[in-house]
Amino acid sequence: MKYLISTYIFLGILLLSCQPENPKTLFQYIPHNKSGITFKNTLKETPEFNVMNYSYFYNGGGVATGDINNDGFCDIFFTGNLVASDLYLNKGDWKFENIAKSAGVEASGLWNTGVTMADVNGDGWLDIYICRSAAQNPDSRRNLLFINQTSKDGTITFTEEAKKFGLDDPAYSTQAAFFDYDRDGDLDMFLLNH
Protein backbone atom coordinates (compact mmCIF):
# COMPACT_ATOMS: atom_id res chain seq x y z
CA MET A 1 0.00 0.00 0.00
CA LYS A 2 2.82 2.36 0.92
CA TYR A 3 4.46 1.59 -2.41
CA LEU A 4 1.21 2.32 -4.31
CA ILE A 5 0.71 5.72 -2.60
CA SER A 6 4.35 6.67 -3.30
CA THR A 7 3.89 5.75 -6.96
CA TYR A 8 0.75 7.90 -7.28
CA ILE A 9 2.45 10.86 -5.61
CA PHE A 10 5.48 10.48 -7.90
CA LEU A 11 3.28 10.28 -11.03
CA GLY A 12 1.24 13.31 -9.87
CA ILE A 13 4.38 15.40 -9.37
CA LEU A 14 5.75 14.23 -12.71
CA LEU A 15 2.55 15.16 -14.58
CA LEU A 16 2.27 18.55 -12.89
CA SER A 17 5.90 19.40 -13.61
CA CYS A 18 5.44 18.68 -17.34
CA GLN A 19 2.88 21.45 -17.87
CA PRO A 20 4.03 24.34 -20.09
CA GLU A 21 4.76 27.58 -18.27
CA ASN A 22 2.92 29.84 -20.71
CA PRO A 23 0.86 28.86 -23.72
CA LYS A 24 2.51 29.99 -26.95
CA THR A 25 0.31 31.48 -29.67
CA LEU A 26 1.02 31.57 -33.38
CA PHE A 27 -0.92 34.75 -34.06
CA GLN A 28 -1.20 38.13 -32.44
CA TYR A 29 -4.20 40.44 -32.83
CA ILE A 30 -3.32 43.83 -34.31
CA PRO A 31 -6.19 46.34 -34.00
CA HIS A 32 -7.27 48.41 -37.00
CA ASN A 33 -6.26 51.67 -35.33
CA LYS A 34 -2.65 50.41 -35.26
CA SER A 35 -2.57 48.68 -38.66
CA GLY A 36 -4.70 51.14 -40.63
CA ILE A 37 -6.70 48.28 -42.19
CA THR A 38 -10.38 49.23 -42.04
CA PHE A 39 -11.86 47.20 -44.92
CA LYS A 40 -15.38 45.85 -44.36
CA ASN A 41 -17.20 43.84 -47.01
CA THR A 42 -20.63 45.13 -45.97
CA LEU A 43 -23.55 43.30 -47.58
CA LYS A 44 -27.05 44.76 -47.54
CA GLU A 45 -29.87 42.69 -48.94
CA THR A 46 -32.58 44.39 -50.97
CA PRO A 47 -35.86 42.99 -52.29
CA GLU A 48 -34.24 42.87 -55.76
CA PHE A 49 -30.87 41.40 -54.76
CA ASN A 50 -30.57 38.91 -51.90
CA VAL A 51 -29.70 35.32 -51.07
CA MET A 52 -33.05 34.11 -52.44
CA ASN A 53 -32.29 35.28 -55.99
CA TYR A 54 -28.48 34.93 -55.87
CA SER A 55 -27.44 31.88 -53.87
CA TYR A 56 -23.78 33.00 -53.72
CA PHE A 57 -24.69 36.25 -51.93
CA TYR A 58 -22.85 35.31 -48.73
CA ASN A 59 -19.81 33.63 -50.30
CA GLY A 60 -17.73 36.69 -49.44
CA GLY A 61 -14.91 38.41 -51.26
CA GLY A 62 -11.31 37.51 -51.86
CA VAL A 63 -7.98 38.38 -50.29
CA ALA A 64 -4.57 38.38 -51.96
CA THR A 65 -1.16 39.22 -50.54
CA GLY A 66 1.98 40.11 -52.42
CA ASP A 67 4.70 42.72 -52.73
CA ILE A 68 3.32 45.11 -55.37
CA ASN A 69 6.16 47.65 -55.14
CA ASN A 70 9.07 45.22 -54.55
CA ASP A 71 10.02 46.80 -51.21
CA GLY A 72 10.15 43.48 -49.34
CA PHE A 73 6.84 43.95 -47.50
CA CYS A 74 3.65 42.00 -48.23
CA ASP A 75 0.78 44.22 -49.34
CA ILE A 76 -2.90 43.20 -49.06
CA PHE A 77 -5.80 43.39 -51.53
CA PHE A 78 -9.41 42.87 -50.39
CA THR A 79 -12.25 42.51 -52.91
CA GLY A 80 -15.59 44.06 -52.12
CA ASN A 81 -18.91 42.61 -53.21
CA LEU A 82 -21.14 45.67 -52.76
CA VAL A 83 -18.33 48.01 -51.66
CA ALA A 84 -15.15 49.19 -53.35
CA SER A 85 -12.11 46.93 -53.16
CA ASP A 86 -9.13 48.06 -51.08
CA LEU A 87 -5.39 47.79 -51.71
CA TYR A 88 -3.31 48.25 -48.56
CA LEU A 89 0.36 49.17 -49.04
CA ASN A 90 2.54 47.80 -46.24
CA LYS A 91 4.62 50.65 -44.79
CA GLY A 92 6.45 48.37 -42.33
CA ASP A 93 5.93 47.80 -38.61
CA TRP A 94 2.41 46.43 -39.32
CA LYS A 95 1.19 49.79 -40.65
CA PHE A 96 -0.79 49.90 -43.90
CA GLU A 97 -2.14 52.63 -46.17
CA ASN A 98 -5.15 52.18 -48.45
CA ILE A 99 -4.01 53.22 -51.94
CA ALA A 100 -6.79 51.60 -54.01
CA LYS A 101 -8.18 54.89 -55.30
CA SER A 102 -4.85 56.50 -56.23
CA ALA A 103 -3.62 53.22 -57.76
CA GLY A 104 -6.82 52.86 -59.82
CA VAL A 105 -7.92 49.44 -58.53
CA GLU A 106 -11.09 50.15 -56.50
CA ALA A 107 -13.35 48.32 -58.98
CA SER A 108 -16.37 49.75 -57.15
CA GLY A 109 -19.96 49.15 -58.19
CA LEU A 110 -19.09 45.60 -59.23
CA TRP A 111 -19.60 42.23 -57.54
CA ASN A 112 -15.95 41.21 -57.05
CA THR A 113 -15.18 37.71 -55.81
CA GLY A 114 -11.69 36.18 -55.86
CA VAL A 115 -8.43 38.05 -56.37
CA THR A 116 -4.98 36.85 -57.38
CA MET A 117 -1.63 38.63 -57.48
CA ALA A 118 0.74 37.34 -60.16
CA ASP A 119 3.28 38.81 -62.57
CA VAL A 120 1.06 38.16 -65.59
CA ASN A 121 3.14 40.12 -68.14
CA GLY A 122 6.53 39.00 -66.79
CA ASP A 123 7.93 42.48 -66.11
CA GLY A 124 8.95 41.79 -62.50
CA TRP A 125 5.96 43.59 -60.92
CA LEU A 126 2.90 41.85 -59.46
CA ASP A 127 -0.35 42.46 -61.31
CA ILE A 128 -3.87 42.03 -59.84
CA TYR A 129 -6.56 39.79 -61.37
CA ILE A 130 -10.09 40.21 -60.02
CA CYS A 131 -12.90 37.72 -60.62
CA ARG A 132 -16.43 39.05 -60.92
CA SER A 133 -19.90 37.58 -60.72
CA ALA A 134 -23.57 38.24 -59.91
CA ALA A 135 -24.45 40.75 -62.64
CA GLN A 136 -26.99 39.61 -65.24
CA ASN A 137 -25.29 41.61 -67.99
CA PRO A 138 -22.15 39.71 -69.16
CA ASP A 139 -20.25 42.97 -69.74
CA SER A 140 -20.82 43.94 -66.10
CA ARG A 141 -19.24 40.75 -64.82
CA ARG A 142 -16.13 40.60 -67.02
CA ASN A 143 -13.06 39.79 -64.96
CA LEU A 144 -10.46 42.53 -64.53
CA LEU A 145 -6.68 42.44 -64.94
CA PHE A 146 -4.84 45.40 -63.46
CA ILE A 147 -1.31 45.63 -64.88
CA ASN A 148 1.21 47.18 -62.49
CA GLN A 149 2.64 50.47 -63.81
CA THR A 150 4.81 51.40 -60.80
CA SER A 151 7.17 54.17 -61.91
CA LYS A 152 10.86 54.62 -61.14
CA ASP A 153 9.95 57.29 -58.57
CA GLY A 154 7.80 54.73 -56.70
CA THR A 155 4.36 55.97 -57.76
CA ILE A 156 2.06 52.95 -57.80
CA THR A 157 -0.63 52.84 -60.50
CA PHE A 158 -2.36 50.10 -62.45
CA THR A 159 -4.13 49.99 -65.82
CA GLU A 160 -6.99 47.58 -66.57
CA GLU A 161 -5.97 45.34 -69.51
CA ALA A 162 -7.96 42.10 -69.19
CA LYS A 163 -9.29 42.30 -72.76
CA LYS A 164 -5.80 42.89 -74.19
CA PHE A 165 -4.57 39.70 -72.49
CA GLY A 166 -7.69 37.68 -73.38
CA LEU A 167 -8.64 37.35 -69.70
CA ASP A 168 -11.87 39.40 -69.57
CA ASP A 169 -14.00 36.30 -69.10
CA PRO A 170 -17.72 37.11 -68.55
CA ALA A 171 -18.54 33.84 -66.76
CA TYR A 172 -19.64 33.81 -63.14
CA SER A 173 -16.08 33.58 -61.79
CA THR A 174 -15.02 32.69 -58.28
CA GLN A 175 -11.20 32.46 -58.28
CA ALA A 176 -8.21 32.26 -60.62
CA ALA A 177 -4.80 30.64 -60.27
CA PHE A 178 -1.79 31.46 -62.45
CA PHE A 179 0.97 28.92 -63.14
CA ASP A 180 3.10 27.70 -66.06
CA TYR A 181 0.96 24.71 -67.07
CA ASP A 182 2.65 24.02 -70.42
CA ARG A 183 6.18 24.84 -69.18
CA ASP A 184 6.82 27.41 -71.90
CA GLY A 185 8.11 30.13 -69.58
CA ASP A 186 4.96 32.24 -69.25
CA LEU A 187 1.97 32.07 -66.94
CA ASP A 188 -1.23 30.24 -67.81
CA MET A 189 -4.48 30.65 -65.88
CA PHE A 190 -6.96 28.23 -64.34
CA LEU A 191 -10.33 29.93 -63.77
CA LEU A 192 -12.96 28.57 -61.40
CA ASN A 193 -16.54 29.55 -62.28
CA HIS A 194 -19.88 28.71 -60.68
pLDDT by residue (tens digit) across 134-180?
988 999 999 999 999 999 999 999 999 999 999 999 999 999 999 99
Domain count, the chain: 1
Buried b (16+ CB within 10 A) or exposed e, 65-75: eeebbeeebeb
For 37, residues 6+ apart whose C-beta sits below 8 A from its C-beta are 76, 88, 96
pTM: 0.85
Residue 156 lies in a domain: yes
Separation of alpha carbons 29 and 44, rounded Å:
28
Q: Within a domain: residue 71? A: yes
Print the domain residue range for 55.
Answer: 24-193
- 65 inside domain: yes
Residue 159 in domain? yes
Q: Say if 17 falls within a structural domain.
A: no
